[in-house]
Amino acid sequence: MLGLEFPPINEVIRWQDVFPSFNKVALIGCLAALIGMTIFVLAGRKDPMVAPTGVRNLAETGVEFIEDQIVLQTIGREGLAWTPFLLTLFIFVYLCNLPGIIPILQMPATARMAIPLFLAVIVWFTYNAVGLRRNGVSYLTGIVWPKTVPVGMRPLVGLIEFMSNILLRPFSLAVRLFANMLAGHMLLVTFALLADAMFRAQTKELILRPMGILPFFMLIFLTVFEVLVGLLQAYIFTILTAVYIGLAWHPEH
């Protein structure tokens, strides 16, 4: 029998500290921020009058994607001022997800709770601030005593709305990103370990060792799948932020 030694979870998602309290996840987070800034600073320096080339093409595609697919669909034309914020979120989350499939790095920075939780707290402050600024106190009363439902239902709906607005939204936003990336990372780890254990198995059944190619193919397939998941999770995080801002902006919808 071949035994598969699965390391404890803390070993899979923890890395040796490069310096005290600065490990690989922090390094990836800093790199993601730096690379994102570099791309857009370089793109912003180019002459806007000539046809875009190279890095400016990339930046313009990102801006157009955020404007057409996210802002116009959820907040509306008057929300276009939110494009920079949403673009920053999208690029940062995507660049934090991407190292999960890059060899050597092999760790999505969002698979630790710290980054998704902090981003969710920022989003929570943002949409509540937008609601208070646009609608004043009626934003809060609209949550706990919604005018659009019958009077008898108002306490119940108000309670649900209050819980959803104050607690569940940031929680689910953070947990969704974190759990998706962690699940992807654990899948990759499992199949990599399985392939490794089967290739080097100490058994008399010789057929077992070449069969290690099967988990290896699965590993390649899952790596391609993770590219898609990283992009999709960044998109979902951004579009939910936009939806929350839009809901705080126009509470009547």
Partner 1 sequence: MQALAIVIQQAEDAKAANAAIGAGFAYGLAAIGPGIGIGIVVGKAIEAMARQPEAAGMVRTTMFLGIAFTEALALIGFVVFILLGL
Binding site for partner 1 (CB under 8 A): 8-9, 69, 73-74, 172, 175-176, 178-180, 182-183, 232, 235-236, 239-240, 243
**In the bound complex, what is the minimum distance in angstroms from residue 178's beta carbon to partner 1?**
8
Minimum Å gap between C-beta 220 and partner 1 is: 23
* Strands in the chain per DSSP E: none
Min CB(71)–partner 1 separation in Å: 11
The residue among 42 and 243 lying less far from partner 1, judged by its C-beta, is 243
DSSP letters for 71-97: IHHHT-GGGGGGHHHHHHHHHHHHHHH
Of 113 and 211, CB closest to partner 1: 113
CB of 110 to partner 1, least distance (A): 13
Say what the alpha-carbon torsion angle 130, 131, 134, 137 is, to the nearest 10 degrees: -140
**Minimum distance of partner 1 from residue 236's CB (angstroms):** 5
Q: How far is the CB of 7 from partner 1 (least distance, A)?
A: 12
Instruction: Name the residue nearer to partner 1 (CB basis): 31 or 179.
Output: 179
Within 13 Å of residue 45, how many CA atoms lie on the same side as its CB?
A: 7
Identify which of residues 43 and 89 has a Cβ nearer to partner 1 in the complex.
89
Q: Report the number of secondary-structure helices (H) and strands (E) in the chain.
A: 10, 0
d(CA 174, CA 191): 26
- CB < 8 Å & 24+ apart, contacts of 190-196: 190/6, 191/215, 191/216, 191/218, 191/219, 191/222, 192/219, 193/4, 193/5, 193/6, 194/4, 195/219
The partner residues of 19 in beta bridges, in order of sequence, read 22
d(CA 168, CA 47): 45
What is the Cα–Cα distance from 233 to 110, expressed in whole angstroms? 10
- Output the smallest distance, CB 204 to partner 1, in A: 29
- Judged by beta carbon, residue 129 or residue 183, the one nearer partner 1 is 183
C-beta closer to partner 1: residue 111 or 195: 111
Q: Which is nearer to partner 1, 61 or 73 (CB)?
A: 73
CA angle in degrees (0–180, nearest 5) for 207-184-5:
45
Tell me whether residue 41 is exposed, middle or buried, using C-beta atoms within 10 angstroms of its C-beta: 0 to 12, 13 to 18, 19 or more: exposed
